[in-house]
Amino acid sequence: DGGITQSPKYLFRKEGQNVTLSCEQNLNHDAMYWYRQDPGQGLRLIYYSQIVNDFQKGDIAEGYSVSREKKESFPLTVTSAQKNPTAFYLCASDTSTGELFFGEGSRLTVL
């Protein structure tokens, strides 16, 4: 089945550590996105990529980094510079008509 796979589902980080969240899609979509979801807030855009080897910062990119070396993959690294990383992270890709399709999410907790 086509879809977006995020891993791991749950992740724990110690202070000062970098962690990487994986996102893979087999939908052949060009554009991919990373969102952060916190209770009581709408989804906030971290980074997006519309084509391989190109990506743009979203509204809350500080403390995060991404790469887009393959069309299918868009990993997100949460660096030690992100001061409040505990959140639910969602990866998405969009169709040619603009609908976003999401993965199942990764929950990151800082110990």
Partner 1 sequence: EDQVTQSPEALRLQEGESSSLNCSYTVSGLRGLFWYRQDPGKGPEFLFTLYSAGEEKEKERLKATLTKKESFLHITAPKPEDSATYLCAVHSNTGNQFYFGTGTSLTVIP
Q: Are 59 and 43 in contact (CB under 8 A)?
A: no
CA 32 from centre of chain: 9
- Name which of 43 and 110 has its Cβ closer to partner 1: 43
The answer to the question of residue 101 lying near partner 1 (CB under 8 A) is yes
Residues 75/16, Cβ–Cβ less than 8 Å: no
Q: Least distance from C-beta 98 to partner 1, angstroms?
A: 5
Spatial separation of the C-alpha atoms in residues 96 and 98, rounded to whole Å: 6
- What residues numbered 52-91 form the site for partner 1, per CB under 8 A? 90
Task: Check: CB of residue 86 under 8 Å from CB of residue 106.
Answer: no
Residue closer to partner 1, measured from CB, 18 or 95: 95
- Footprint (CB under 8 A) of partner 1, residues 20-39: 31, 33, 35
C-beta closer to partner 1: residue 14 or 97: 97
**Which three-class secondary structure state does DSSP give residue 107?**
strand
What is the contact surface with partner 1 in residues (CB under 8 A)? Answer: 4, 6, 31, 33, 35, 40-43, 45, 48, 50, 90, 92, 97-105, 107
